Chains A and B, each alone.
Chain A
């Protein structure tokens, strides 16, 4: 007799390499939106990451993976100058956005964040109605055009409209975790950014909600450039065109731990034939 569990075990789980090959094919390098050169971030004198250089390409999904404490979140926050809000944080090196240095003296961080949106790890809807959550960005930026249309368009893009169209005036805190995260994505889309940064956007969500967010990323990259930090390697393999592997460099005395970029390449390459031994150990599960 064949039981359910016997049947289940006959299906081989796909390896990361297979997932990556299935999803990552057909990506060719294109125009760079960001060029990062020799970037280092320190918090009150302690280096969090150092010597990071990479390019982020237009209309693609770029994933940052690596063990905890490797500075991926610190790094992604350099792209919209969120590190400015952390007392004691200093950024060295260059982050060029479409050829312009984001950290030049004449650049207003508020203007940077308007162009480069961000979705956070934990859904953070404002304690306001669904409508007011989406409308917040357009309102503070004083964007022209019909607010109602803008809200509807953003909610449709985030695949949330059908679920909330009849309760826009209700509190956003009443939505489920997955809906809240899609609301946060919609909120970000409502100001028509150029780039969307996502800091572990699905780590607090159930598998079904995670799949919906991943599908959304595939959809959105046609219009936007997406950068994502993730703990989940399958997720990186499924959604990312390019993947950067970060690791922790421990100083010889064992005290100073700094994040470094180990390898950056096409996702299919990172998960099938990585060039660096450390990457191979990580993606095959021997380390981290």
Chain B
């Protein structure tokens, strides 16, 4: 085989691999938009679900998803960033308990989400007696994405050259001043990107919420300490109904969910480009 032919075949293989991903996404988008676009109207956003597909909407689910996302950020970002700061800036890496902590966090990131659901059911819903409420859902999603946020924040913090810390120390700054005035501001783009990507993952998550008892049919606006549903669960429940129109309504809801996710990811990319730095 000539060298030119080999190179050509290799490029073909690369294109094929790229094509698989693109084709899947393309098919999904075309299919969903074909079905869902006619049903993507104001009613879907403003009206509660109903047994009549002509008047059914997904308002409670959309609101609950936004609540879940907001609460998730409030809980995840401080805990995740503080953990990352401890591990990167304060922890003595030669100590066994710090190494154990690190390994644990990496393993937690790989635990299936349904397991977090079981944990949430046992400890939050029953153990703490929170009940099947939105707050419990947000807390379980927090636990689910916390390892991701910690790992992303640690990488952002580690990417800051040591010369910056040394320069600040050499001027008589305390460790807290070095961390709060040099390390954290410089790490914000990485932390923000990691947090938003974690948020998008959590918003699409269904299994742990079902397990802790997010209800599938809810016709009023959810509250933090009340029963709730979420957009992916709403989509699932639409699909289980017999009427054909509900399938189309599900497709429209998928478009809404995709819209939220794409907006979040675009925001993450914007932050990354806006604050990109070279040392």
- A87-B92, A124-B163, A173-B278 known; A118 vs B170 contact (CB < 8 Å): yes
For residue B173, give the distance in angstroms from its CB to the closest CB of chain A.
4
Q: Is the CB of A85 within 8 A of B163?
A: no
A85 to B172, CA, bound (A): 13
List CB contacts (< 8 Å) of B159-207 with chain A: 161, 163-164, 166-174, 177, 181-182, 186
Distance between A154 CB and nearest chain B CB, rounded to angstroms: 12
Residue A140 contacts which of B163, B173, B279 (CB distance < 8 angstroms)?
A: B173
* A-side contacts of B181, CB under 8 Å: 136, 139-140
Contact A120 B163 (CB under 8 A): yes
Whether A188 sits at the interface, judged by CB under 8 Å, is yes
Give the number of chain A interface residues (Cβ < 8 Å). Answer: 26
Does A282 touch B at the CB level, under 8 Å?
no
Q: Does A107 contact B (CB under 8 A)?
A: no
B residues near A140, Cβ cutoff 8 Å: 168, 171-174, 177, 181
How many B residues have CB within 8 A of the partner chain? 22
Say yes or no for B42: interface residue by CB 8 A criterion. Answer: no
- Chain B hits for A173, CB < 8 A: 277-279
Chain B residues, CB < 8 A from A82 = 166, 169-170
Which B residues from 216 to 272 make CB contacts under 8 A with A? none
Whether B107 is near chain A, meaning CB under 8 Å from some CB there, is no
Q: Is the CB of A136 within 8 A of B168?
A: yes
Interface residues of A in 156-200 (CB under 8 A from B): 173, 184, 187-188, 191
1/0 per residue, CB under 8 A from B, across A3-36: the answer is 0000000000000000000000000000000000
B27 CB–A CB distance under 8 Å: no
Q: Is B94 an interface residue (CB 8 A)?
A: yes
A113 at the interface (CB under 8 A from B): yes
Tell me the smallest distance from the CB of A55 to a CB of chain B, in Å.
23
Closest residue to A128 on the B side, CB-wise?
B185
Q: Is A80 at the interface (CB under 8 A from chain B)?
A: yes
Partner of A113, one of B93, B170, B278: B170
State A111–B173 Cα separation when bound (angstroms). 9
Q: Which residues from chain A contact B161 at a C-beta distance below 8 Å? A: 124
Residues of B within 8 A of A118 (CB): 170
What separation, in Å, do the CA atoms of A252 and B118 have in the docked complex?
A: 65
Q: Contacts A127-B277, A140-B177, A173-B278 hold; do A111 and B172 have CB atoms under 8 A apart?
A: yes
Report the Cα distance A36→B19, complex, angstroms. Answer: 69
Q: A257 interface residue, CB < 8 Å from B? A: no
A139, A141, A188: the one within 8 Å of B170 (CB):
A188
Interface residues of B in 81-97 (CB under 8 A from A): 92-94
Q: Tell me which residues across on chain A come within 8 A of B169, comparing CB atoms.
A: 82, 85, 113
Considering the complex, give the chain A residue whose CB is closest to the CB of B161.
Answer: A124
11 A-B residue pairs with Cβ-Cβ distance under 8 Å, sorted by A, are A113-B169, A120-B167, A120-B170, A124-B163, A124-B167, A125-B167, A126-B168, A136-B168, A140-B173, A173-B277, A173-B279
